[in-house]
Amino acid sequence: MRTAMRATLGVVLSFAALGLAACGKEGSSGTQAPASVSGAGCAPVAGDKLVVLDDDKKLQLADNIIPAINTKVADPALVAALDKVSDALTVDKLIALNKAVDVDRKTSKVAADDFAKAENLTTGIEKGKGGAIKIGAADFSESATLGALYEIVLKAAGYDATVQTIGKREVYYGQLTKGDIQVVPEYAATLTEFINQAVNGKDAKALASGDVDQTVTALKDLGGKQGLSFGKASKATDGNAFAVTSEFASKYSLKTLSDFASKCSGQSTVLGGPAECPQRPFCQPGLEKTYGIQFGKVLSLDAGGPQSKDALKKGNASLVLVFSSDGSLG
């Protein structure tokens, strides 16, 4: 699950500095009501299917999936092969991949094989220099599946590619820069701030933003000085997002957070999120500042986990924080 994934990736450092919604104590409960709220709002609507509203004003950071490569092996054919994966990945397809593994219980290898065949990933791949390439995959399912996809395209390009499960970013980042592993599926904004803080200190001004092009430019500048190169950033992201039930979205004709703001700001609207959501600028304060949304009640739940999703499904929350690539959203 996403909560475990973030802990595994070791991005608590980045999240604390950026004020992102981190995990609260699971099982916590309670509410926080704003002092004054205007507008009628939109009461929760129960339903079984959840939909993510588009973050059209780019409140969240651009955590698009991107291949990180040790520059010594980053020949054009290798990068081009990895870019085939990036070109094929969208948020919906990443959700489907995660659903295949986390919900349908396929192995990451099987899910990756099925995806590669459906997307013709190995068609037209040019042969590279060859040689051994060790792909590092962090120990959560999404990373393992991405690693398996990288293995498929690199083998098609003539490399002796293998996948090795690795640990936290604090551990594997050094292995990547030294060349002990050569390729890792990464997340643009999170890696940008990880390197930024490692190089410039914990209080360094954030360089990642909601703009993927600006974020990747900053990442390439920072990473290039550390011996890293990067392929294309995919359209697929794995980060904070906000969901409603499909019944709620249909009732109020919602597709974006701006739609939500224009129709649902007010007393009857209930936000659900981790315990620290009322303090995190990418959670309640961000929704208020960026979109002008006011909430009549804020529920203290888990971070994108079963409590949050159940609150939507049972009609206890109008909007909750989820993670954009969660397989249960498919």
pLDDT tens-digit map of 196-229? 999 999 999 999 999 999 999 999 999 999 999 9
CA distances to 79, 162, 306 from 72, rounded to whole Å, are 12, 17, 43
**Residue 289 lies in domain:** 2-59+239-329
7 with 75, same domain? no
Give the number of domains in the chain: 2
pLDDT in tens, 207-216: 999 999 999 9
**H/E run at residue 296:** strand 295-301
From 7-16, 195-204, 299-308, the region with the lowest mean pLDDT: 7-16
User: For the chain, what percent of residues have pLDDT higher than 70?
Assistant: 89
In the block, residue with structure tokens 């959560």:
140
- As a whole number of angstroms, the distance between CA 318 and CA 39 comes to 15
Residues 46 and 72 in one domain: no
pLDDT at residue 7 above 90? no
CB 191 within 8 A of CB 10: no
- The string of DSSP letters for 198-262 reads HHH-TTPPP---S-HHHHHHHHHHHHHTTTEEE-PPPS-B-SEEEEEEHHHHHHHT-SBHHHHHH
CB of 230 closer than 8 Å to CB of 70: no
Residue 12 predicted with pLDDT over 70: no
Quick one: 16 and 163 in the same domain? no
Q: What pLDDT score was predicted for residue 2?
A: 36
End of a domain among 202, 230, 258? 230
Decide if pLDDT at 34 tops 90: no
| Of 6-20, 136-150, 217-231, 269-283, the least confident | 6-20
Residue 26 in this model has a pLDDT that exceeds 50 = no
pTM of the model as a whole: 0.86
> Could you tell me the CATH number of the domain that includes residue 139?
3.10.105.10
For residues 114 and 127, give the distance between their C-alpha atoms in angstroms, rounded to a whole number: 22
Query: How distant, in Å, are the alpha carbons of 132, 187, 242, 317 from that of 245?
Result: 47, 27, 11, 10
**Residue 219 corresponds to which amino acid?**
L
Contacts of residue 195, defined as CB under 8 A and 6 or more positions apart, other chains included, come to 173, 219, 222, 223, 226
**Does the structure show a pLDDT above 60 at 29?**
no
- Tokens, residue 204: 């360094």
54 DSSP assignment:
B
